[in-house]
Amino acid sequence: MDTSQPHRAPHQGPDGSDADEPGSSPPSDEPLQPPPNPTNKSLREHDAARAQRVEIADAFALISDDTAAWLEENAQRAMRTAGATGELRIALLRDPEMTQAHERHCNAPGSTDVITFNLSESDDLDVDVFVCVDEAQRQADSRGISIDRELLLYIIHAMLHCTGYNDKAEHDAARMHEREDELLTAIGVGPVYYLPDKRERA
């Protein structure tokens, strides 16, 4: 498993960076500012609302609005459970766009499931993520699960890569996938990478 996907061999970008952490990415938005002269209570509420932020961009209308809202909500819950703060911006792509991004940013052929651009300069996450819906659908179909669970796995995988986890070595990959399923179970979704009936990933 490489940093760009939960179930393939490692790739590196042309600059030697992990496939999940290519050397360049679009600039991030300016951070939100607190409201003027807030009370202590409103400041705490404002900070809490900013602590975990997830945005889904679905330019090709690949999933329903309800699925996008479910992904945002559960990704935020996973961030809180993991003790992570900051922002994840998720772009949903098809195979052609993901193949182009994989080749451009990772110098690797073909499509993949997730590519992560870690822009963080502090403890708060500042992350752009490309997720391939076509690959998620193939995996979901082959393993008999819903695509929303597979997509959420990819988002959590990207988050973990930006909080100190990696999957270059086999034992590190196993630890990372166990943590993914721990978070998924803690937020009420249940395991996705290691299914109880041991169905293997393609």
What pLDDT score does 190 carry? Answer: 96
Is the residue at 196 inside a domain? no
Is the residue at 21 inside a domain? no
3-state secondary structure of 191: coil
Is the residue at 11 inside a domain? no
Is the residue at 143 inside a domain? yes
Is the residue at 115 inside a domain? yes
Total domain count, the chain: 1
Q: How far is CA 24 from the centre of its chain?
A: 17
Is the residue at 7 inside a domain? no
Q: Which of 189, 79, 178, 175 is nearest to 129 (CA)?
A: 79
What pLDDT score does 201 carry? Answer: 62
CA distance to 38, 100, 110, 156, per residue, from 9 (Å): 50, 19, 13, 19
Q: Give the strand pairing for 86-93 and 114-118.
A: unpaired
Is the residue at 60 inside a domain? yes
41-76 tens-digit pLDDT: 444 444 544 589 999 999 999 999 999 999 999 999
123-176 tens-digit pLDDT: 999 999 999 999 999 999 999 999 999 999 999 999 999 999 988 899 999 999
What pLDDT score does 140 carry? Answer: 96
Half-sphere exposure (CA, 13 Å, Cβ side) for 45? 6
And the tokens for 181?
């399923």
Q: What is the CATH number of the domain that holds 143?
A: 3.40.390.30
> pLDDT: is 147 or 34 the higher one?
147
Identify the domain containing residue 176 by its residue range: 51-186
